[in-house]
Amino acid sequence: MNLTTELVQRDLDALPASYKTAHVDALIRQYIKAQVDVSPLRPYILTHQQFHRIYFYVSLSRLPDARSRMSFIHDNLLFSDWWHTDQLIGYVADLPFDTALGHASAYIGAEDPFVRRWGYVLFISRLCRGHAAELLPLMHNDEHYYVQMAQAWLMAELAVFEPEVVYQWFPGNDLRYDINGKAIQKISDSFRISKEWKERFKQLRPELRKR
């Protein structure tokens, strides 16, 4: 381990025994202010999970725009769980939609389930608005629970802005019910979707179960 990883580990060890995300974020702000180069953490982030957030947040904060941040993420698809993909959403919210779609189309076929998940959750922002017709075809049957949840989350997000498009798409899709059912549950749980639309989506459940 070099000086940077030793520095970070020392700082982490100095935190309270049951430290919280806010404590790590305070360290991140310190590293950003001091312009610490965290690139030496890269070889360790899959084996030392506590380095993951620091590596991405500090590195991405030094990049000037969404394109360069997306390029960095693309070159560092080193994810070990669902949280590490979800925490990156805000960094690419300003990306041109076609650029994001090009990346996502490749990610959803990746071997790593958390890269596949990233292919969906990267749109959970203003990036998805008005693009239900382009994003719904990305949905496909996936065995991994966290990928299914990402698909459901994105479908619910699309239903916030284009409920009619999503509603009309549901009956003809070829997804298994465990994915469709999760999506309808996400829609039902949303505070941003009207009761009327929630009821309409719930009424799709019996037919979707029969397939």
Regarding whether 70 and 173 lie in a shared domain, the answer is yes
Over the stretch 26-63, which tens digit does the pLDDT of each residue have?
Answer: 999 999 998 888 999 999 999 888 899 999 999 999 99
Listed range (15-19, 68-72, 75-79, 169-173) with the worst mean pLDDT: 15-19
pLDDT on residue 6: 85
Same domain, yes or no, for 107 and 164?
A: yes
120, 16: one domain: no
Domain shared by 141 and 176, yes or no: yes
Digit-coded pLDDT (tens) for 61-96 = 999 999 999 999 999 999 999 999 999 999 999 999
pLDDT value of position 2 = 56
Angle at 154 (CA atoms; ends 159, 55), nearest 5 degrees: 145
Of 35, 62, 89, which one is at a domain's C-terminal end? 62
Amino acid at 26: A
Q: What is the DSSP letter of 193?
A: S
Q: How many CB atoms lie within 10 A of CB 140?
A: 14
Token pair in block for residue 52: 């993951």
Look at residue 3 in the predicted model and tell me its pLDDT: 58
Computed over every residue of the chain, the mean pLDDT equals: 94
Which pTM was predicted?
0.93
For residue range 4-14, list pLDDT tens digits in order.
788 888 888 89
Domain hosting residue 81, numbered range: 65-210
* Domain co-membership, 126 together with 58: no
- State whether 56 and 70 are in the same domain: no
Helix 113-121 vs helix 97-107: angle between axes, to the nearest 10 degrees? 160
User: Of 26, 44, 62, which residue constitutes the final position of a domain?
Assistant: 62
CATH code for the domain of 71:
1.25.10.90
Looking at the chain, the whole-number percentage of residues with pLDDT higher than 90 is 84
**CA distances in angstroms from 20 to 26, 32, 45, 100, listed in the order given:** 10, 19, 18, 32
CA distance 122 to 113: 14
Same structural domain, 32 and 134? no
* Shared-domain flag, residues 129 and 196: yes
Shared-domain flag, residues 80 and 36: no
State how many domains the chain has.
2
* 57 CA to centre of own chain: 15
What's the length of the chain? 211
Measured in whole angstroms, the distance separating CA 38 from the mean position of its chain's CA atoms is 22
Same domain (yes/no): 132, 52: no
Two structure tokens written together for 206: 């019996």
The whole-angstrom separation of Cα 26 and Cα 192 is: 32
Q: From 23, 47, 62, give the residue that closes a domain.
A: 62
Q: What mean pLDDT comes out for the span 98-119?
A: 98
Question: Does residue 157 register a pLDDT over 70?
Answer: yes
Same domain, 45 and 98: no
The answer to whether 136 touches 144, Cβ cutoff 8 Å, is no
Q: 9 and 102 share a domain?
A: no
The whole-number pLDDT of residue 7 equals 83
Instruction: Quote the tokens at residue 119.
Output: 């292919």
